[in-house]
């Protein structure tokens, strides 16, 4: 048993990981994206080609921390544990796992294609792949905001 302070620290880390991932998508999609569309294609795609790999390192880290802390507290018996049955935790898991599957698909699909196309100077292919990254991030941003809301608000109604 970890005790309340132990759980508090682990769930604090869980929340920080959510902030890094969803906040990063929020900034990229809601703030950086529109000004960047005013750039010439080669510059625009080159910028994303330098920005995205840096962000993706943090997303991988956030995914690992979210899984380890989320399932960690449940396996340690936090508030009824893995079979505790709190609806908000079930919803968070479902939408969280969908987000992670989408990110992995983005990373090994369009991102790999975009990186290869940028490497060979094939801008149309890079632009098409970047379009898919944008669509997937749009979905993941909405899911992420929803998941944070459910995770945070649910604590007050779930037990
Ligand atoms: C996929 C596996 C996940 C598991 C097993 C999991 C598990 C948990 C658990 C057990 C709690 C504590 C709930 C409570 O005290 O009532 C929690 C809280 C939370 N989770 Fe998750 N989570 C997961 C994914 C995510 C994701 C992807 C996000 C956001 C992107 C997220 C955001 C949050 C937030 C914001 C809280 C609230 C912290 C608080 O205010 O107390 N979780 N999660």
- Summarize pLDDT for 96-133 with one digit per residue, the tens: 999 999 999 999 999 999 999 999 999 999 999 999 99
Cβ pair 69, 11 in contact under 8 A: yes
pTM of the model: 0.95
Residue with tokens 């945070």: 152
Whole-number Å distance, alpha carbon 26 to ligand 1 midpoint, is 19
pLDDT for the residue numbered 1: 58
- Range of weakest confidence among 80-84, 131-135, 136-140: 80-84
d(Cα 127, Cα 77) in Å, to the nearest integer? 47
Among left, alpha and beta (phi > 0; psi -120 to 50; other), residue 40 is beta
Instruction: State the virtual CA torsion across 99, 93, 21, 61 in degrees, nearest 10.
Output: -100
Query: What would the pLDDT profile of 58-73 be if each residue is shown by its tens digit?
Result: 999 999 999 999 999 9
Is the pLDDT at 145 greater than 80? The verdict is yes
d(Cα 56, Cα 59) in Å, to the nearest integer? 5
Whole-number Å distance, alpha carbon 43 to ligand 1 midpoint, is 38
- Mean pLDDT value across the chain: 96
Query: What would the pLDDT profile of 36-46 be if each residue is shown by its tens digit?
Result: 999 999 999 99
Q: Measuring from each residue's beta carbon to the nearest atom of ligand 1, which residues come in under 6 Å?
A: 11, 14-15, 18, 21-22, 66-67, 70-71, 73-74, 78-79, 86, 89, 92-93, 96-97, 99, 144, 147-148, 151-152, 154-155, 158
């Amino acid at each position: 048993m970890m005790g309340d302070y132990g759980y508090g620290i682990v769930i604090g880390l869980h929340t920080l990981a959510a902030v890094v991932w969803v906040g990063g998508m929020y900034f990229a999609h809601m703030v950086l994206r529109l000004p960047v569309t005013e750039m010439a294609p080669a510059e625009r795609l080159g910028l994303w080609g330098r920005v995205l790999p840096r962000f993706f390192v943090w997303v991988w880290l956030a995914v690992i921390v979210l899984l380890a802390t989320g399932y960690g507290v449940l396996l340690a018996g936090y508030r009824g544990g893995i079979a505790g049955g709190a609806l908000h935790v079930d919803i968070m898991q479902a939408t969280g796992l969908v987000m992670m599957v989408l990110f992995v698909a983005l990373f090994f699909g369009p991102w790999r294609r975009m990186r290869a196309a940028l490497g060979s100077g094939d801008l149309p292919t890079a632009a098409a792949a970047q379009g898919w990254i944008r669509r997937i991030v749009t979905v993941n941003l909405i899911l992420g905001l929803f998941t944070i809301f459910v995770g945070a608000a649910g604590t007050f109604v779930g037990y």
